[in-house]
Structure 1
């Protein structure tokens, strides 16, 4: 009897490890609604970035989890240090235009969303010159207090 019990337990355990763990299931309607909400927040942040309103960009970020941010190979433990570098690097830029070429929003749950995007950013310098850079972004959004906020990002650019 003990041998049969042990074999049964091992079978049940191995079956549990082999079968796919299923996470939260959302309806297509819920998924589309979440994608639209996140995309709306993303579009608002793009407008602020184009206007160089960096202090207002902070409204779209929640850094309480301290997940970190990566930009062009540099790790920032806090969003405040990232945005400070962005402000310093933007000196001499009068305006910028951001064009999204590709974007994918993946809903992981009703509270977590992954977004990837790529495109071209064109900056007009104070001296009249223009520079362009291709970019590749990844964002993790979390729904916090009924608003979608970026909790992690990875951004890279190539010129």
Structure 2
């Protein structure tokens, strides 16, 4: 008699779990958000490997996200999510920009600007807004030579 109620509960749990399972699209969005909200040649394989999707399925989900206005593709081919988790007051983009500039030696100038922008998937205007905010906050400055220089703890 105790087996029947247990089996019934197990069936109900299995049905409830299947009903609440993430869809491939939800898993894809979560994986891209975890990868910094953008995908390019440097991280696409890592994101794809973790999802277990075919290239075609991954591409179809990407196209759906763009059509829904939840993502865009930059001129350099970088796929960027525009979900609330990725656009929340620009904090994610600013943090990514700071990390990229720190990795480039804390300075952005003519020799590395294109590489940094391509890696971030940012347009010039988007980067300018982030840079101006960092300067206003005292976390960056422009040198006499015109280079953008971070003044964050990792750059002092």
Q: Name the TM-score, length of structure 1 as normaliser.
A: 0.26
Q: Which has the higher contact order (CA 8 A, sep 6+)?
A: 1
Higher strand share: 1
User: Given the two structures, how large is their TM-score scaled by the length of structure 2?
Assistant: 0.26
